[in-house]
Structure 1
Amino acid sequence: MKPFVFFLILFVTLLANSYVHASPQPFNPQKIVVAGGSITEVIYALGEQQRIVGVDSSSIFPAVATTQPQIGYVRKISVEGILSLNPDIILAEADIGPKKVVEQLKRTAANLVILHENDSFWRIENKIEQIASLLQVQSKGAELAQALKVDRDALTHILEQATTKPKVLVIRSNQLMVAGADTTVNELVSIAGGKNVMASSVTNWQTISSEAALVLNPDVIITMSIGVHDQQSNSELLNAFKFSNAVKNKRVHNFDVAYLLSMGPRTPQALVELAHAFYPQAQLPDGYQYRFLKSAANSAK
């Protein structure tokens, strides 16, 4: 073999090996736009909020998140608003929309990551670990996910003491709108050991008349509110149910929407509280404490 050919082959081989053994730098986004309140909540819980450069309007916890630049509502985001922030990555919940806007983002080669499979009560830890992995803080994610085990164990502890399932009615705090089947809250009521009285007759959220409300006789009423103003309207709303067992026995409980329904780090604790509202005689595990704040109003203090 001629020396020139030999050295040429040697050079190409060494060059190829250098590419094979090179270790690319892991992607570590520093400018994050979020479309989904639970994702924002997770990033704050991980202590990585300094990376956030924009959020959608459902990102209301903690309260300081609302001071971030806004990109619209998660189901009605603004392409221009997002791109103007020049993010390294866009993290979104499964209900990001509208569809045409999502397609526009994909055509701009924006780094869009949609957490399709993790918006459920049973996959909150998966969501936390996925976000932590994307942010290259896996150890923080594992620690936060593990911390939720105490809440899941407490929920099991309550349900082991459960007897007859209470009849539960879930209503919006500012109107006679009730939760039926095919709603997240219906699923959570079932997980917490209750029976949604509207699940067999109503799909999604529907408004009912005062006359229809009189026929219902729930054992427990759960009102859903967003902030203090919604909670203040409860007394007027509950007049429609004043003859129910729930009102007569003072078993009416208000839950902040983001606290119960976000599918973020606080949701397992919220389910413990919900189950305890269904079974007030049940004992919590020894030493168990509610650790997370229950509303954005509390986090602003």
Structure 2
Amino acid sequence: MSRGPQRIVCLTEEPTEVLYALGEQQRIVGISGFTVRPATARREKPKVSAFTSAKIGEILKLRPDFVIGFSDIQADIAAELIRHGVEVWISNHRSVDGILDYVRRLGALVGAGDRAQAYADTLQQGLAAIEREAARLPRRPRVYFEEWDEPLITGIRWVAELVRIAGGDDIFPERAAEPLAKQRILEDPHEVVRRAPDIIFGSWCGKRFRPEKVAAREGWASIPAVRDGELHEIKSPVILQPGPAALTDGMREMAERIRRWAEKA
């Protein structure tokens, strides 16, 4: 008999991606409207939530026996569902190791522990291969990752760790260690100028990254990344969701940009 919850609502993309990867998608009865991975999920599953809001009534109509969300930002959604008697799991992982452990834990919850372990191992091996390649690069760039522009918010911990694995050095490691977005707000944009990144990655969740807008900021013309045209977008679905996408497509995009910079004459 199938074990674990049978009717799961995923309030963010990463549990959906993991469950599909494990072949357990039949358990999913509702997903986030921001889900793009896998593409089939958007066609097959009803969309019942955003990130900071959810259609509570629609969720309850689906009769879920388990709801999965992420972080303090979804605490109010979780609380309302709990008051309606729904079991909710809010994960709060912020690191690469945390993402890998999340895959293993979610697999165990649905009776697919062995498959989840194998999948996590494959993800980890992919990261190790990129790290070995990056170790051979002739130089390491200083990297600024911008998660939002109004106000400026620097990259979260797993992003900073992926930058390092890809062969770069995040210029705000002390900010990356902070779990909440409000703790990663840059009060002084000129601090980026002072730290002089060689590459700027932008991933403005929910809107297109505008390199020309970044380059036009007061005093930023002197930044090496701006001077050399090293301003690159990484789409938020492949880097800002703490799941497999960040460790695969997001990681590869970042590593390729860093490799090209490092090998330039």
Q: How far is the alpha carbon of 1:133 from its aligned partner? A: 2.3
1:128 and 1:261 map into 2 onto residues whose CA distance is 16
2:11 and 2:67 in contact (8 A); partners too: yes
1:212 and 1:142 map into 2 onto residues whose CA distance is 41
Match of 1:80 in 2: 57
Q: How far is the alpha carbon of 1:230 from its aligned partner? A: 0.8
Q: Are 1:230 and 2:208 matched, yes or no?
A: yes
Aligned letter for 1:261? L
1:53 and 1:143 map into 2 onto residues whose CA distance is 25
Count, aligned residues: 253
Structure 2 alignment gaps of length 5 or more: 176-181
1:164 and 1:62 map into 2 onto residues whose CA distance is 35
2:172 and 2:98 map into 1 onto residues whose CA distance is 26
Match of 1:288 in 2: none
1:75 and 1:97 in contact (8 A); partners too: yes
Q: Are 1:31 and 2:7 matched, yes or no?
A: yes
Match of 1:156 in 2: 131
Instruction: Find the residue that maps to 1:126 and give its secondary structure.
Output: helix
Structure ID, larger Rg = 1
Once the two structures are superposed, residues 117-170 of structure 1 have per-residue CA deviations (whole angstroms, 9 ceiling, x without a partner) of x45311323222222222223343233223213312223203423565422222
Instruction: Find the residue that maps to 1:97 and give its secondary structure.
Output: helix
Match of 1:169 in 2: 144
Q: How far is the alpha carbon of 1:255 from its aligned partner? A: 0.7
2:94 and 2:157 in contact (8 A); partners too: no
Q: How far is the alpha carbon of 1:49 from its aligned partner? A: 2.5
Once the two structures are superposed, residues 174-230 of structure 1 have per-residue CA deviations (whole angstroms, 9 ceiling, x without a partner) of x46533376653454345443334556994134766x77766642111121457x61
Q: Structure 1 residues 207, 247: closer, same or farther in 2, change over 3 A? A: same
2:138 and 2:262 in contact (8 A); partners too: no
Match of 2:168 in 1: 194
Q: Structure 1 residues 113, 226: closer, same or farther in 2, change over 3 A? A: closer
Match of 1:264 in 2: 243
Q: Give the alignment of 1:122-141 within 5 angstroms.
A: 122-141=97-116
RMSD, matched Cα: 3.6
Q: Are 1:180 and 2:154 matched, yes or no?
A: yes
Instruction: Find the residue that maps to 2:260 and give its secondary structure.
Output: coil
2:165 and 2:23 map into 1 onto residues whose CA distance is 30
Instruction: Find the residue that maps to 1:87 and give its secondary structure.
Output: coil
Aligned letter for 1:219? D
Match of 1:293 in 2: none
2:59 and 2:89 map into 1 onto residues whose CA distance is 14
1:32 and 1:54 in contact (8 A); partners too: yes
Between the aligned residues of both structures, percent identity stands at: 24
Structure 1 runs of 4+ aligned residues shifted over 6 Å read 211-216
2:169 and 2:14 map into 1 onto residues whose CA distance is 26
Q: Structure 1 residues 245, 277: closer, same or farther in 2, change over 3 A? A: same
2:230 and 2:73 map into 1 onto residues whose CA distance is 36
1:262 and 1:104 map into 2 onto residues whose CA distance is 23
Instruction: Find the residue that maps to 2:68 and give its secondary structure.
Output: strand
Q: Structure 1 residues 172, 128: closer, same or farther in 2, change over 3 A? A: closer
